[in-house]
Structure 1
Amino acid sequence: MLAAGATALLVSPLGARMAFAAAPTERRFVFLIQRGAADGLGIVAPVGDPAYAGARGDLAADFATAPKLDGMFALHPAMPNLAGLYQAKQALFVHAVASPYRDRSHFDGQNVLETGGVSAYQLKDGWMNRLLRLLPSGDKAIALAATVPMALRGAVEVASYAPSSLPDASDDLLARVTAMYEGDRQLHPLWQEAMATRMLTGDLGSDGGKKAADTGTLAAKLLSAPGGARIAMIETGGWDTHSGQRGRLGGQLKGLDAMVAALKAGLGPHWDNTLVVVATEFGRTVKANGTGGTDHGTGSVAMLLGGAVQGGRVQADWPGLSDAALYEGRDLKPTTALDVLIASAVSSHFALAPARTAKALFPAMTTAAAMEGLVRV
């Protein structure tokens, strides 16, 4: 049993793993979910679109001096580490992307994103757990989340590193317990791990990115351990920016940037064989509301990061931001299917058959053609 402050959860196996890959892999995969609907237009801005400045109003101000990615897009200035990855061709941004979900409920949208269905609660297990059934049994998975997220639930056993749901203890009490366990060979390492996982809660920008960086470091440690996990899911919250978006989103992106930088540093040479997919359940409205925020939308941006990524570009079938081009007159129109993107990247990363992988991960996917050139093979 772990010390108070952290729990380790297991999802019991309900069926055998089908190993289509021949041997254990040294490749790492991380799925980082942005819960709350991240504003893709506020992350990778289409500054070259003639309608951009007028449509976004004050939300465009942060991009006046933002680093340009190409002639059309700029990256939010709160992410210098991701800008460096882009320059090193280890970051690929895919814009105007969305899952099959077209309504605006967080719970339903996240369920579609995590299960890989075309409607909420259609499937009972997650696409990441089904991915594990395609990989060797030695390729374990772990969730850095309060509970095992839907994306990892299913037949294959999955561990979860999670903070306790009990009320926060005072710093004085934690210091006293730390001192009490200092000489205990069994409890001291467990308590140290509990203190590390305690840092997982809260918005990414709540402390300037320190907790987010600690999460990235912890994830790297778990993914680098001999015989440890090779697949991980990291939950992040705080992306529901209905008001005061500029300041809040900037803090969120600073935390995300710190998390990815810490993950890269902690993985060391393993980073070269790592793919990180960052995605959200849906995007946000193009135009701001009356409180300086945005409301639930449709199209957003997804990120592929890592040494395994064939990056240094923004991939987009850009629909435009004119009023006539918007989805339902308010949202960025999605032109790229998120399920196709994920299936294509993952199958290439793990050298799996694209069609078989797509069918296993997203059984109701309607688009047959895989996207090419996403990762280095």
Structure 2
Amino acid sequence: MTIRHHLRSRREALLGAGALFAWSQMPKLARADGRDPRMLVIVLRGALDGLGAVAPVGDPDWIGLRGDRALVLDGKPPALPLDAFFALNPAMPNLHRLYKAQQATIVHATATPYRERSHFDGQDVLESGIERPGAVDTGWLNRALAELASDGRVDPRGSRVLGVGSVTPLVVRGRAPVLSWVPQRLLPASDDTQARLLDLYQHTDPRLAVALEARIRLAALGPTAASEAAMADGAPLTGPGIAGVRAYFAEAAGAAARFLAKPDGPRVGAMGFVGWDTHINEGAASGQLANLLGALDGALAAIEKNMGDAWRETAVAVVTEFGRTARINGTNGTDHGTGTVAFLAGGALRGGRMVADWPGLKPAQLYEERDLKPTTDLRSVLKGLLRDHLRVEESVLASTVFPGSTDVVPTAGLVG
């Protein structure tokens, strides 16, 4: 990988807030056995606090770890029980309903093979499907679809990738051409994002850096839209800011579902939502994280609604580059971590269960004595969905889709 490619990937990771990318000829995938599966991958950029999203309320060390910021069953508001050990953040009643209806599964203590804490490298590993960052410029989802096309189960003639947003995420880059659609509603870039872009351009494109800095200064002279900068790292998402985020998440996800639901439309797609880097004032049952989770919950509701009858053959995978620290930091947030959660939803799932080999929360049980230890390889989960839902051959998953993953066994029984 060249330095230029790596820098371009960083810029695209910063800008790729919401996007849908979908292969258009998937209806031919499973007609032989009477199926018409859909799959949507949602990437949460910024690293999700899995412990803040799904609390291990049955772990005796939970309260001691998080104190009064620990989600609990008798909290105000109370966490939503999933089983005897885990409870869901109360901001996600729709996901809880799907879980109870056996249309959602939650995977806890999961991570990719990446063990450092760089957003850009973590997202690269997550979306490329390769164990080290910067190894390839294609994504695992695109490679999976290309293999389906090459063995005759998908007609490659006229196939295309549909994009909602302005930047193609790595997970869908590959041989399929791209069409783009930009939502009418777009979230403004946060001060943090602008600062990181400015720093990047100062090292790679000085002319663009000058133009960007001038634009930032000009905007600062006018009325501030800080409350609307809902993607700010660490900035509380409240009032009109979070209202805009909820509307954007629902609009983008709803658009994705409408495309996927069309009889002659795409069958597989991916989209991303930024803003999950909660270093400051994260909150728990209320606050920044709860607001984001509520927006995500609304996005899942929009997908279910707009999929219509196709929901019964749909699987949605919500993933992130890594987790966050097990302990709260000095600014009431969490720092970059390791283990986290993945949410699966859809009528095609055999849901209503937790998938977790729980590692424990004692200091010696934490990864490097600071993070939730990952015990489930996220590639195992994704392999299970691709094999059993989209019918990608297991040998192809190990050799081409997730190279070097022969020892990573696909998770069985995720779909009905």
Do 2:317 and 2:344's aligned partners in 1 also have CA atoms closer than 8 Å?
A: yes
Q: Which amino acid is 2:104 matched to?
A: A
2:107 to 66, 69, 94: 94
The separation in 2 between residues aligned to 1:236 and 1:212, in whole angstroms, is: 8
Give deviations 1:264-314, integer Å, cap 9, x for gaps: 000011000001000000000000001110000000001111001111011
Distance 1:163 1:221 in 2: 13
* Partner residue, 2:121: 108
1:321 to 1:127, Cα distance in 2 relative to 1, 3 A: same
More helix by share: 2
Deviation digits for residues 10-55 of structure 1, max 9, x if unmatched?
99x9xxx9xx957586211100000000001111110101111111
How many residues are treated as equivalent by the alignment?
331
1:211, distance to aligned residue in structure 2 (A): 2.1
Say if 1:251 and 1:360 are closer, same or farther in 2 by CA, change over 3 A. same
2:175 paired residue among 155, 163, 166: 155
**Corresponding residue for residue 415 of structure 2:** 375
Once the two structures are TM-superposed, the CA of residue 61 in structure 1 deviates from its matched residue by: 4.4
Moved more, 54-63 or 26-35: 54-63
Does 2:393 match 1:353?
Answer: yes
Out of 246, 265, 274, the position equivalent to 1:228 is 265
Select between 128-137 and 281-290 the one with higher mean Cα deviation: 128-137
| Alignment match, 2:249 | 212
Q: For the Cα contact (< 8 Å) 1:141–1:159, is it kept in 2?
A: yes
TM-score, normalised to structure 2, is 0.74
CA distance in 2, matches of 1:87, 1:81: 10
Structure 2 letter corresponding to 1:144: V
Partner residue of 2:293?
A: 253
The equivalent residue for 2:79 is 66
Matches within 5 A, 1:1-377: 23=31, 26-61=36-71, 64=75, 65-135=78-148, 136-137=154-155, 141-162=161-182, 203=231, 206-207=242-243, 209-246=246-283, 247-376=287-416
RMSD: 2.8
Alignment partners' CA distance in 2, 1:217 and 1:127? 24
Q: Distance in 1 between matches of 2:272 and 2:349?
A: 21
Q: How far apart are the structure 1 equivalents of 2:382 and 2:399? A: 12
Distance 1:252 1:62, change over 3 A: farther
State, as a whole percentage, how many aligned pairs show the same letter. Answer: 45
The alignment partner of 2:108 has SS state of: strand
- The 2-side partners of 1:52 and 1:159 are apart by 47
Q: What is the CA–CA distance in structure 2 between the aligned matches of 1:28 and 1:10, rounded to whole Å?
A: 13
Aligned letter for 1:232? G
User: Offset of 1:222 from its aligned partner?
Assistant: 1.3
Match of 2:191 in 1: none
CA displacement at 1:340 relative to structure 2? 1.5
Q: 2:56 corresponds to which letter in structure 1?
A: P
Cα distance between partner residues in 2 of 1:276 and 1:81: 14
Distance (Å, rounded) in 1 between the aligned partners of 2:108 and 2:91 = 19
Q: Could you tell me how far 1:160 is from its partner in structure 2?
A: 3.1
Whole-Å separation in 1 of the counterparts to 2:120 and 2:183: 22
Equivalent position amino acid for 2:84 in 1? G
Instruction: Give the drift of 1:215.
Output: 1.7
**Deviations for 1:81-112, whole angstroms, at most 9, x for unmatched residues?**
00000000010001100001000000000000
Contact 1:141/1:230 (CA < 8 Å) preserved in 2? no
Structure 1 unaligned blocks of 5 or more: 1-8, 169-200
**More displaced, 86-95 or 207-216?**
207-216
- Superposed displacement of residue 219, structure 1: 1.1
C-alpha change, 1:333 and 1:366, in structure 2 (3 Å) is: farther
8 Å contact kept, 1:309–1:374: yes
CA distance in 2, matches of 1:46, 1:341: 20
Question: Do 1:129 and 1:156's aligned partners in 2 also have CA atoms closer than 8 Å?
Answer: yes
Distance (whole Å) between structure 1 residues aligned to residue 115 and residue 366 of structure 2: 14
Quick check: 1:142–1:231 contact (8 Å CA) kept in 2?
no
Change (3 A) 1:338 1:237: same
